[in-house]
Structures are given as C-alpha cells and as structure tokens.
Structure 1
Amino acid sequence: MTIAIIISISGQAWARDEAGNLRELRVGDTLQEGETLVTSDNGRVELDFADGLDPTMIEGGQEVVMAPDLDVEQPVAAEEASAQDEDLEALLTAIDEGEGDLLEDLDATAAGAGGAGGEGGGHDFVRLARITENVNPLSYEYGLASLGGIPEVEGQAVEEPAPEDEPDSFPTVDTIDLDGDGDTVWESALPEGSGGGTLTTSGTFQIDTGTDLLALIEVQDAEGNWIAVGAEGSTIAGEYGTLTVNLDGSWTYTLGQSIDHPSQGETGEADQLADTFAVRVTDDDGDVSAPATLTIDVNDDGPVASGDAVGQIAEDGSVDIDVFANDTAGADGVDLQNGIAVTTAPTLGTVTYNGDGTFTYTANPGAEGSDSFSYTLTDADGDTSTATVTLSIAADSTPTVAVADASVDETGGL
C-alpha cells in the first residue's frame, strides 16, 4: 500500500524495509506501508500524502515509519495537533539533558509526519533547531519560531550572495629586447662620422595590466621629468638622442650627437655609453607599476688615417704632403693644430708638420731611393688611427764637362 510520494529531495534519503534493506530515494518514488523514511543529516524530503493538503516536509536526520494512520484525509483539531505547553517543557528538558529520543517525550500526533503543524491543522510540522556553538561554558540556542506553524512559501525569491570581487591586478612594464638588435646605435652613422652602423633602434615595451585596462604610459626625460605619452605619441629628450613612444608601447630611439666616450684608443662596441629612460605604466583603477629602464648603447666612432704615396722627389729636393686630404676625422672630430703628429720619422730626410694637415718632407743631401714616415690622428675623445707616407728620391746626378773640338796652330796659336 502506497503511503506517500516523494515530490522533492534535498541531500539524500532512503527507504528501509522491514528486513533492513535500504533503497536510495529519488523524486517520484513512492513510500510503501511498513517502510521507514530515513533522511541524511543535512537533507530534507517533501512528501505528498494524496490527501489534498499541502505537502509535508521531513527534516534531515529523521526516521519516519510509513503507517496507514499517516494517510489522513481530514485536518485534525488544533488542540490535538499543536505542541502544548507540557510538550514544550518536556522537549526543552530533553534537549538540555541531551539524552533519550525527543519523539518518545512527545504525545503521539493525530496525523502527519512527526510533530503537528500550527493551529489551523493539516500536515505542517514542528521544527526544532538545536545549534551547537563553541563557547565556554557550553550553551545552546533553540529556534522555536516555527512552532507558530509558519508555512513554507513556494516560489519565494531567494537572494543570491553577491559574487566575490576578483583580486586587484597590478600592472607591470618590461623593456626586453625582443628583436635581438641589442638596442644599439652608432656614432659612425652621424653625418660627420666615419660611416657604417645605424643612428636608430626600435622596440616595444612589454606591458601587462592583468584584468584592468592600460590608462597611461610615462617616460622620464634627461632632466628627470615624467612625460605622459599622448594619443599621437610623444618624443622624449634623452642625454644623447630622442625617444619617440606610442600608446601601443612601441618606441624608436634616434642618436642626435657625438659623445665623449671614456676609453681612449677603443671604438665601436669596445667603447660604449648608455642613454637610459625610465618607463612606468598606470592601469584604469590607478595602480602604478614599478619603473623599468630602457637602455640604449651608443658605440664610439674614431678617426681613420689613410696612407699616402708621393712621386719622385728631386735630389736634395723637398715636397709638401696633404696627408689629411684622404683621412676621416670621425664623429668626434680631429683638431688639425694638435691632433696630427709624426710617430715614425723618415731615414733619408726630415719631415715637419705645418699645423694644417700637411707635412713638408726634405731629402738629405745626396740621398736617393725610397723613404717613409708614419703619422697618427687623434680625435676629440682620444681615439687614434695611424698611417704611413712613402716617398721616392731621385738618384744622385753625376756632373759632366762638355769639351769643344779644337785645333793647334803649329806657330803656337789656337
């Protein structure tokens, strides 16, 4: 005989037959006479007794035997179904003592599962909530509001808890050299340079704002001022050149002048100076990143001296030689008054520097053959270059005497 139908389950519930066998219940299952409804500690089950009354709710941790007297057709009187004063007193005493079965301390109800409902009768039931709290000494709270028979309201709106905010992200910026060109420019590419290399280098800042949006890019100029990058991009003055930055994080550096590098006698990658720029970003909720540093290496340029060859010099002669005419001063420049000097003297003559990029060579008396000397260029920051001048001196000439034909007069006259 069917006693009730399961119309909703929260948690888990089982039906136990008289032999002790358990079957797990699902919505739509029926409970038969003699079976015991068992609910999990945190579960609850709604039963329909097909009596035309509201469904009956069985709370968690309960065992209810399905008997014919549960299937009632008429509401019971309020004085029979409601919890009376003596019942409440017995219940509270049992709860305080923590012993025995609460159901044994109550009078049997006229109908329904467990305790009775409110004054109006029916299958509404008494709920007793005992909440254990970790206090010292041990104490309990009793939820007795349901004794008044407040019915469950179907379709009642339940307020969903507000979703937790995601953790605030913090922006970062990095200046990694992704294209591998070393972020390097060359003095030699300047108009007055010795040639080769490039005046520009470019790249892109690596910016991460997490779940936020990028609001601002700033770059520090050579004077320490933070310059905000505008919608059309901005150009920031560095110590040796300019940095142009766009809102997408791309940038281009252009070298604008020669530099007095520290290492004398070294050029190119062996002698570099850095132009640096601090960079920071701000996200749309105002978080500012730690600054990153963009470093541009500037390679040194130096002079280039080129050798000269002078044609034949007359015996005991001299010649002026413009050695600087085919030389390159480099980006740092060469002072013609003091930046050119003889480093190896000639052996067959003498050489004098004239202070204007020219030398005067004078052959020694009677000298002939090949001779040479070396000179060195020194630029403004001490870089040097050396070249050799070669000369050819004509062979020594032999004096000749010209004798005219003559006749002798036998008388003694010519």
Structure 2
Amino acid sequence: MMGTYISKQDATIVELSGVISSQNDQGEMVSLKVGDTLRQNTMFNVAVDATFKLQYSDGTTATHIDFNDNNEVTTSGFEATDTITETIDPEIAALQAQILSGEDPTLNLPDTAAGEASPTANEGGGFVSVNRAGDETIAGAGHNTDGFEQVQTTRIAELPNFLEQFSLPTITTSSVRLFEKNLSDGSEPQIASLSQAESVSVTVQAGINALTINGVQVFVDGNFIGPVTIPSEHGSLVISSYDPINSILTYSYTLNSALDHSESDILSELFLVQLTDNQGDITTAIVTASIVDDAPSGLDDVNAINEDNLEGVLGNVLANDTLGADLAEVTQVSTATGSIDLATENLIAGNYGSLTIAADGSYTYTLNEQSTDIQALALGDQVFESFDYLLVDADGDQVSLTLIITITGENDAPEVTSSLEDAMGNVIEAGVLVGGNIETTGQAQTSGTLTAMDVDDGAVLTWSLDSPAQTPYGLFTLDEDTGVWSFTLSNELADSLAFGDIVTESFNITVTDEYGLSASQQVTVTVAGTNDIPLITSTIADATGEVLEAGVIDGGNDPEPGSLTTGGTLTASDVDNGASWSWDFVPQVNDYGTFGINASTGVWSYTLANNALVDALASGETHDETFLVTVTDEFGAFSTQIVTVTVTGTNDIPLITSTIADATGEVLEAGVMDGGNDPEPGSLTTGG
C-alpha cells in the first residue's frame, strides 16, 4: 500500500515501521518518526508496506489497516488524494518478501556460469568476470519516485550474514487515561485513581541492549535497572518491572497536577520509548497518558436574613460547589440590572440590599434599612433577592449558579406621628375677671387627635391610656380606635386655683400594634386658674350691734351710763390658694356715733356719740345705723355685708337752759329819789 493523504485533525505517530513522509516548512520532503505530529490539513505520503499507528487529538486511533490498497480511508481522521499505483515486478516482490521475512535470498539463486577452470582474463575457477556494458535496470519501487532526490548511502564494507539476522524489534504502544477530577482539588478526589498501571510488550529476537523513555535509561547494557521514575510536567511514569519471559515492561503513571485544557478537554503526556537491540536496530513507540479535564460544578446557594438584621449575613457560595482540579473561582455576578466583573468591582447592588463578594466565594449581604419595601414587610412576610454568579476555572470551564437571599419581615414598632400641638391642650377655670366681679365662664374642655403609623403592611393600631382618667382637676377620655382625646375641667375641683396659677396635667398614651410593639406619647393639659370672689362667712349677728343712750331711769332722776359702744368680727373666705383680702366700709355722714373696721381682721366697732341727736331720742326710741362693709381680695373681687347698729334712747333729765340773767329780777319800792322828795312809783313787778 502506498498513497498520499491529508490529515483532517492533529495526529501523533505512536508506532511506525516503514516510511511516512511529509513536506517541512521549507518544502522539503522529510521522513517522519515516532512522536512526530501530523498537523491538521497536512499532506503526507505513506510508503509501500509501511505499518503504523496514529493517535488523533480527539483520543481515537487509526492504523495502516484503516488505509487499504485502493486508497479507501476507513477512518474519519484522513482523506485520500490521487495516487499513482505501479505494478511491482514479481521477482522484485519475491526478493522483498524474503528479506522482510529474514531469509537470505542469495541461497536460492541459480548457479553462476563460473566453473573450476583456471582463470583467464575475465574468468577464474570460481567466477566469471562480466564487463560493464553501461546498461542498467532500475528495480521498481512500487510507487512513483518522481520528485525525490537520491540519497547517497554509506557503502557497506561487507555483506551481512543473513544466517545470523534477527527480526527487527517492535514495541507496542500503550496508553492510560486519568481524570483531573481525582486530584485532591478535583471534583471527585480519589488518590487511588490518580495512578494507573499498564504494560508494554516488546518483541526483540536479538535481545535488548538499551531502552530509554524520554531519554531516561531503563535498560543499560542489556540489564533492566528499574524501577525507574520518569518525571513529567504534570506527573510521573514509573517503570516498575520487566518480565523477560513474556517480554512485558510494566509501568504506572501517576497524575500530580492539573493541565491547561484551554484547547481541548483531553490532553496527553507522551513518553517516547526507544529500544535498541543487540544488533543495533532501533524501534520506538509512544506511551500515552491521556488526562481528562475536570470542570467546576455546584449547587445554587441560599441564605436568609431578618428585616431587623443591621449587621448583614455572611456566607461562601463555594461551600457547596466543586471547584475542580483547575481551581475555579467567582469571576462575575449578575443581577436584573446587569453584570459586574469582580476583577474591577466586588460590591453589587440588589433590589433590597447589597452583596459584597470575593473571588474565593466569601460574601456579605447587607440589607438596605432605608428601603420602604423592606420596612413594609410585616411579621413573617418574605421577599427574595437573587444574584447569579459565574464560576470559572483556569481552563475557562464555567458554570452559572444562583445565590438566593430570603428576607423575612419582622414586626416594626408603630411610630407616633402627631405633633406636640396635637398632644397639648388648655383649660381655664371659671371665675371673675381681674379688677372686679365680672364673671367669666372660662374654658372647661380641650381635645386633640393623636396619630401614628406603622410601616408594616396591614398593621392594626390601638390606643390606650396609661394614666388615671380622673385627675384632681378633671376627667380625661381617649378613643382607642381613633386616638381622639379630650379633657373636661371640673370648676369645683379647680376653684382653688388662683388667678395666674398654672397646673399641668400629663397623660401617658400608648399606641400598640397587633403584635404588642408600641410607642408612647404624652398628652399635656394646662389648667389655668381664675380669680374667685371672696365670700363673707360672718353671720347677721356678727354684723349687728346695739348701743343705749345714757340718761335716767324712768320714774327717777338717777343717771344711767347707758351702753355707748358695740362691735363684732366679720369673717370671709376665698377658695383661691393663698388668697388675701381686706375689709373696708363706705363712710357716711352720721352724727349718732362712729363706725370703724379693722382692714385685716374684719373686727368692727361702733361708739355712740353724746350729742343732741342722741339726746333727742326719748326713752325707748330706737334708731338703726347701717354700714356697708366690703371685703376685697388682692385682684379686686369683693363681697359686701351690712353692719347694723341699733341706737336706743333713754330719758334725759331736763336741763334749765335759761341764764342767770333769765332767772334774776328786780323790783323797786315806791318812794322818792335820793335827794328829792318827789314820789316815785317804783317798779313793783319783775319776771323772766
């Protein structure tokens, strides 16, 4: 079989006997050897009777058997091109077959023309000398050799001894398959699976002289020197033993680290086995360790946070993920608003909070306490926050997973929203205005409406009074559903308040939601005092007195002193705390006596005058003297009372009021004047 083919994918020559050739970068035809790689779309020639084994990049293999003599390719890795088929001369074919089988073709050649005669110029006893005629016949090679240059070979000094020639040595290829997932960092750590044992069979009739693997000696001077370890980039090949009876070389390959599978999910470490037999013949084969990529995988993650959690929750999204042997990490996080590359930013804003996440999967989720959506959650209500994260390993393998945060509502306490003015009121005691007795009804009632809100959806609020409803000055009421309150002043209870007195009544109000959380507000009612009229409490008797004129008792002339003074004490009260008052009376023209009252004590007195008015009173005659007395408090409110004094007359001794002159008379006797004798009649009568 010979032909020209084009490789449809990369293929490595793992076994070869014969010639496979291809053009190099300079356009020269070169022969390939075991370990060389046929690149995709490369054209190559296969010599007649060449045997080989190829391993494709996808892990499959093909041999010369898959390429038949009619240039039909039974493997998908190659396609045939037009080739030239020549008929091989039967004699040449027979000679090639004998040589390949190890026979000496000269043993079967016909006798030569030489005999035992003495040699002449061109002949001798054992040979015939044949002169060169200049003609030559070129043996058919079995394929078109146009375009190839003849290679000068080294002249063999002597012909080989075909009787001692052994078959060419051969080595079988061998392969093992391991998985990155079994590495300690892999998705399925399993130390036992990281080493696999296999064997290579050798056929070497002449005996092994030397054997190397990747240049490391395994046989030296025909002796096995193992166990031998051949390190590689990601593992090691250990040649553990050689069975000379069955010609089996036993080895094991151990995978130590992950490979970069960026180009393919299956990569191989190749170990070139080169055997030299005792004839100096060399054969090669490939031991292949195929490493299957490990990819990350995982499960979606969940976490939970309560509405009132201000610190946030911690976690690691990789805790339940499998990173694989290539050590995946978080590279990207996506939300409904877009994706964020963790290489540039690790703070991701969500609908209800923010996620801070690192490439190693550690994260903190913190709620946005200012979110109205969060605050509106009632007890037990839930909303969900999700973040999609991308897990990518060193090879570029990736998997997308989701972190879901469950946010559970907590009961929020209600908040009082009514203002200070809504919780304040004023009442005024009824009384009189300052400076007089003008009455004022005051303001007996005040009210307001308390308000509250609860951010929780559907919250039910109830108002309650925590203080006594009845106070020293009035009654407080509260509507538990509406928060409407009122205070009604009792004037009787407030009478003690003086003008200017201020008393504050405080009431603690609580608003409570259906789960018992509450808020409080204090309602303050200011009670203002008003001046009250002082009241006179003295009796009529206290305001009544009698005096008796001095004189004589009837039927006699014995003088009696009479009762010339009287008095009493007027009293008053004022309900106002600390009130003070004073007494006064309205002066009047009165000649019967004198009235006076102590401004502080209310003690009054009356003294009967000793004058003609009083004296004029006959015995038993009475005359009432009245005095208007006023008690006035410090703010001008007043009350009055009349004090009555009864003056009783007594009999008086009549008094002679005529003068001495009135009671003196003279009479003159009739006679004559002195010094004369003329009779005078005299003044015989007198009177007065």
If you compute each CA radius of gyration, which structure gives the higher value, 1 or 2? Answer: 2
Q: What is the TM-score normalised by the length of structure 1?
A: 0.50
Q: Which has the higher contact order (CA 8 A, sep 6+)?
A: 1
